[in-house]
């Protein structure tokens, strides 16, 4: 298979069973930038079979050896990051500097996973109870063998690596199905891994569309790490249910930013702009809704619109790239037109700001709370800004969403108290998505944003199962699990139960 002029054989599933190929296009120009095989169920099964063998070898290396190899992979990615960033830009359109920032963040998590896997997952002695005092107890976290990772295109390095790095550090082999919009990014990552770990195909990439992903769900892998939309997540869960394959669900969001009366308005406006418009608004944790205390509403809005006027979507050095998926333009247009029809004020941009594959920054006020632009994931560089009487109203509106991925709070005095009342997988106070970038903090959602966690200790445990082992040290004077248990033992246990559990407080 030819990829950017190079021959790729070792890391993508080899010798696809059909000749079917799909083109990848640069969303900014429409030019074809890659062609990849549509891997079939047969190819997926073969990749998983290879991964099973590779996974056995990888698990047997142990934590320290794996960490050394993951460090080598990290160095490969670091050295090749200009190349990788260029492919990211070609395939999904984000500015080069944003692509490099994304890679930098992913490397932080990869390093953390490699360094901390043994501490989090390694065997630990735990205490027995009074009734089982004769047992020595141990818990450890064992790899599933093969983890299937299904990734989105919007952060084609950061999001899949959130699963891949942690699955590898836990001792699994990985079969990765990147989005059909960013297969070259996936293939590049697997190639870099193969250079760092040439011994065995521990990371393989399969390419194709949803059907290839569905085949991975049904392939008998130990776990699926899915990142993508909530609608697809439901289909993935249904497919995994057939084989009782466990799933990690990192799904969509409709994140809000809240501005209290005493907030640093300059910082809040800057964060709102970046949170809403960077990556052309195609960010799972992106700010899509803003709720501002009435006392500072006008000033905040003025600052935000002034800042947004300086940012443009376009080719070349523009800070905002194209919308990656052509069909997303229809969603953005529908949300904007519906909002305007329902009385929204357009402060910047609006339906006319959709120019070909580019959408100029758009800021709307007075959008009804049940409008699609407030309720559904828009995934464009658009913000709705609403006035609230106080932070009770802000929190109620934030929590009214079916989603619960992240949130941002700008407040001086009550930031923590407001954050505590927000129902989401994470909240960053006085900064945008800081919690997603810190390796020790788990990342994930609640409700329709999904379940399970990537990053941090929870992210490592996500790709391993708990295994408990006991060893009997001596025969218990209270032999409980035997048909020879005597009436005397029953009486002693009965008295003990009264003492241990019969008193409250």
If binding is defined by CB under 6 A, does position 351 make contact with ligand NDP? Answer: no
> Is 154 near ligand NDP (CB under 6 A)?
yes
Question: Under the criterion CB under 6 A, does residue 276 sit at the interface with ligand NDP?
Answer: no
CB 164 within 8 A of CB 149: yes
CB-nearer residue toward ligand NDP: 18 or 498? 18
Per CB under 6 A, does 213 bind ligand NDP? yes
**CA–CA gap between residue 178 and residue 153 (Å, rounded):** 7
> In the chain, how many H helices and how many E strands?
16, 24
| Spatial distance between the Cα atoms of 149 and 263, rounded to a whole number of angstroms | 40
Q: Are 437 and 108 in contact (CB under 8 A)?
A: yes
Is residue 150 a contact point for ligand NDP (CB under 6 A)? yes
Q: Which stretch binds ligand NDP (CB under 6 A): 114-122, 192-200, 227-235, 468-476?
A: 227-235
Long-range contacts of 81-88 (CB under 8 A, 24+ apart): 83/188, 84/157, 84/185, 84/188, 84/189, 84/192, 87/4, 87/184, 87/185, 87/188, 88/156, 88/157, 88/182, 88/185
C-alpha torsion sign, points 149, 166, 278, 410: positive
In the complex with ligand NDP, which residue's Cβ is closer, 172 or 283? 283
Distance CA 248, CA 459 (A): 10
- Given the residues 91, 251, 284, 288, the one annotated as active site: 284
By CB under 6 A, tell whether 236 contacts ligand NDP: yes
Binding segment for ligand NDP (CB under 6 A), chosen from 33-41, 98-106, 207-215, 383-391, is: 207-215
User: Which range, of 44-52, 55-63, 92-100, 224-232, touches ligand NDP by CB under 6 A?
Assistant: 224-232
Using CB under 6 A, pick the residue from 16, 145, 445, 459 that binds ligand NDP. Answer: 445
Of 91, 180, 250, 462, catalytic: 250
Sign of dihedral through CA atoms 335, 437, 117, 103?
A: positive
Among 163, 165, 204, 232, binds ligand NDP (CB under 6 A): 232
Q: Which stretch binds ligand NDP (CB under 6 A): 209-217, 287-295, 412-420, 478-486?
A: 209-217
Segment 104 to 133, residues that bind ligand NDP, using CB under 6 A: none
Using the rule CB under 6 A, is 193 a contact of ligand NDP?
no
Q: Of the two residues 212 and 362, which places its CB atom closer to ligand NDP in the complex?
A: 212
477 burial class (0-12, 13-18, 19+ CB within 10 angstroms)?
exposed
Q: Which residue, chain included where needed, has tokens 């074809």?
A: 32
The Cβ-side half-sphere exposure at 121, using a 13 Å CA radius, reads: 31
Active-site residue flag, 284: yes
Query: Kind and range of the H or E element at 25?
Result: strand 21-25
The answer to whether 311 touches 319, Cβ cutoff 8 Å, is: yes
Active site residue 137: no
**Residue 206 and residue 176 in contact, taking contact as beta carbons nearer than 8 Å:** yes
Complex with ligand NDP: residue 108 or 264, whichever CB lies closer: 108
Site for ligand NDP in 363-422 (CB under 6 A): 377, 405
40 binds ligand NDP (CB under 6 A): no
* Residue 461: closest CA among 248, 285, 239: 248
Q: Site mask, ligand NDP, residues 446-485, x = CB under 6 A?
A: ----x-----------------------------------
* Interface positions, 244-273, toward ligand NDP (CB under 6 A): 250-253
Write out the residues near ligand NDP by the rule CB under 6 A. Answer: 150-155, 159, 177, 179-181, 209-210, 213-214, 217, 227-229, 232, 235-236, 239, 250-253, 284, 377, 405, 445, 450
Task: List residues with catalytic annotation.
Answer: 250, 284
């Amino acid at each position: 298979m030819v990829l950017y002029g190079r021959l790729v054989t070792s890391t993508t599933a080899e010798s696809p069973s059909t000749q079917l190929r799909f083109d990848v296009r640069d969303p900014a120009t429409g030019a074809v930038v890659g062609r990849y095989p549509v891997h079939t169920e047969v190819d997926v099964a073969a990749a998983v079979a290879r991964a099973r063998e590779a996974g056995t070898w990888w698990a047997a290396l142990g934590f320290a050896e794996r960490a050394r190899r993951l460090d080598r992979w990290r160095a490969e990615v670091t050295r090749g990051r200009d190349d990788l960033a260029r492919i990211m830009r070609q395939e999904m359109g984000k500015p080069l500097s944003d692509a490099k920032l994304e890679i930098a963040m992913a490397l932080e998590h990869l390093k953390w996973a490699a360094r901390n896997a043994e501490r989090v997952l390694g065997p630990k002695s735990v205490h027995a109870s009074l009734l089982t005092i004769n047992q020595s107890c141990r818990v450890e976290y064992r790899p599933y063998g093969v983890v299937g990772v299904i990734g989105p295109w919007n952060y084609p390095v950061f999001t899949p690596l959130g699963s891949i790095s942690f699955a590898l550090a836990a001792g699994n082999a990985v079969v990765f199905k990147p989005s059909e919009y960013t297969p070259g990014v996936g293939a590049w990552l697997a190639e870099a891994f193969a250079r760092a770990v040439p011994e065995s195909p521990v990371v393989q990439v399969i390419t194709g569309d949803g059907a290839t992903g569905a085949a991975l769900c049904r392939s008998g892998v130990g776990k699926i790490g899915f990142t993508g939309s909530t609608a697809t997540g439901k289909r993935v869960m249904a497919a995994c249910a057939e084989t009782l394959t466990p799933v990690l669900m990192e799904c969509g969001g409709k994140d809000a930013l809240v501005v209290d009366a005493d907030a640093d308005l300059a910082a809040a406006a800057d964060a709102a702009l970046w949170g809403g418009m960077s990556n052309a608004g195609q960010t799972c944790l992106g700010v899509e809704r803003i709720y501002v205390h009435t006392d500072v509403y006008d000033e905040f809005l003025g600052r935000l619109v002034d800042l947004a006027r300086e940012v443009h979507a376009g080719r070349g050095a523009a800070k905002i790239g194209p919308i990656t998926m052509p069909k997303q333009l229809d969603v953005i247009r529908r949300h904007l037109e519906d909002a305007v029809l329902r009385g929204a004020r357009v402060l910047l941009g609006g339906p006319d700001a959709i120019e070909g594959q580019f959408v100029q920054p758009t800021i709307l006020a007075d959008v009804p709370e049940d409008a699609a632009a407030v309720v559904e994931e828009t995934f464009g560089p658009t913000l709705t800004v609403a006035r609230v009487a106080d932070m009770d109203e802000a929190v109620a509106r934030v929590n009214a969403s079916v989603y619960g991925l992240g949130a941002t709070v700008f407040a001086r005095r009550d930031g923590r108290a407001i954050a505590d009342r927000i129902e989401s997988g994470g909240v960053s106070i006085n900064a945008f998505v800081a919690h997603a970038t810190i390796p020790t903090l788990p990342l994930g959602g609640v409700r329709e944003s999904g379940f399970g966690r990537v990053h941090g200790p929870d992210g490592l445990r996500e790709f391993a199962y708990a295994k408990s082992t006991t060893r009997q040290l001596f025969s218990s004077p209270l032999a409980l699990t035997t048909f020879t248990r005597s009436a005397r033992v029953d009486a002693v246990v009965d008295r003990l139960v009264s003492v241990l559990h019969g008193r409250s407080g």
